[in-house]
Structure 1
Amino acid sequence: MEAEIFVHSPTDYVKNNFKSFLPDWESPPVSVIIVLQRSQVALINQGADIEAEKDFLRQKFLDFSYALCRSLDEQRFLTDIIDPRSGYALFSRQGSQSHDDCQVIHQLRQIPIIKQNLCKSLDHPSWGTAVYPGVLMSLAPASKIQPLIVDNTGAQKGNYIDGLQFRPNQA
């Protein structure tokens, strides 16, 4: 499994609207953690094989994210996972709107979005539409998140992330 993980400061949209998708939070996220997994198939179309691949990649994202959240929680940093399937946070009450992962990733990483029917897909510069995005929000600064990502991916190297590309916090 190949993946890229990036830690960014939140967009103005996230800072100004966090209460609508993280209603239990008192302050806006300090960091947005983006996980991009390379898919075996283009994810822009529909079909049983594509849905199975999405389910597989979602579970890999959740496994990694739960481990990272536990590590950050041990350091007393509130962190939440945005469910890629629904757009709602997993640990907070459901907010008044879902989070648009593709739009935030587009703004932070300048990865183009392709809209088809009711779905959005990212057009990764190397992988095309064979990319599965995931997002976490945290009150931890990048300096606290970075070593934990390395620890969590290193412990799972071989069954989660082989081609890890980690990029530090970028404005």
Structure 2
Amino acid sequence: MQYSVHSPTQFIQTYADQLLPDWSQPILSILVVLQQCSSLMLSRTLATETQKRQGREQFLQFGHQVALELEFLGHLADLFDPATGWPLRSPPGRLHLDDVAVVRAALQYPTMAQGDCTLVIHPEWESAVYPSVLVSSAPLSLLETVAAQVSDRYLLDLHH
């Protein structure tokens, strides 16, 4: 798993009220999470669907822990379901979030249209990548600290 912390993309800044209408604080940071898959995501197969399901489950476990810790510290946080683009901890707004577009904007990674999906093209993993996004009202440095702490614990938990 790779992750990086960024300022909100232009889309998120412009449409925050339509993504998360109940939020009382501005979105100040985003966490982009990329997971390497064992095969390229170029077609819909049982293997790629299984990888997407596993990637989603791992992101939800990791993301919920990050969100809980940020909320404990007084900040809002929500993860967007990579399968639907809707928030998982807040009532949805009129718009859903396109995690591939967020990755393209935040990391400048190329993308590729493939059927009804758009794929992230990772510099090392090519299309064997599962992207996901968490947004927060926390400052960048706090989100970075919390994500690192949760990542350390999460990786330890995966190995036990």
Q: Which residue of 1 aligns with 2:120?
A: 122
TM-score w.r.t. structure 1 length? 0.88
Identity %: 31
> Which residue, out of 80, 90, 107, partners 1:82?
80
Q: Which residue of 1 aligns with 2:11?
A: 13
Q: Would you identify which runs of 4 or more consecutive aligned residues in structure 1 move more than 3 Å?
A: 158-161
- CA separation of 1:160 and 1:103: change in aligned 2, threshold 3 A: farther
Q: Identify which of structures 1 and 2 has the higher relative contact order when contacts are C-alpha pairs closer than 8 Å and 6+ apart.
A: 1
Q: Which amino acid in 1 is paired with 2:6?
A: H
How far apart are residue 81 of structure 1 and its match?
0.4
- CA separation of 1:116 and 1:28: change in aligned 2, threshold 3 A: same
Q: Which amino acid in 2 is paired with 1:19?
A: D
TM-score w.r.t. structure 2 length? 0.94
Q: Which amino acid in 2 is paired with 1:157?
A: L
Superposed CA deviations along residues 63-86 of structure 1, whole A, max 9, x for unmatched, are: 000111111011011000000000
How far apart are residue 160 of structure 1 and its match?
4.9
Give the Cα separation in 1 of the matches to 2:42 and 2:109.
15
Point out where structure 2 has 5 or more consecutive residues left out of the alignment: none
Q: Which amino acid in 2 is paired with 1:5?
A: Y
- CA separation of 1:14 and 1:38: change in aligned 2, threshold 3 A: same
Q: Which residue of 2 aligns with 1:22?
A: 20
Q: Which amino acid in 1 is paired with 2:129?
A: V
Q: Which residue of 2 aligns with 1:47?
A: 45
- For these two proteins, the number of residue pairs brought into alignment is 159
Cα RMSD of the aligned pairs, angstroms, is 1.4
Q: Which amino acid in 2 is paired with 1:52?
A: T
CA contact (8 A) 1:8 1:142 kept: yes
**As a proportion of its length, which structure holds more helix?**
2
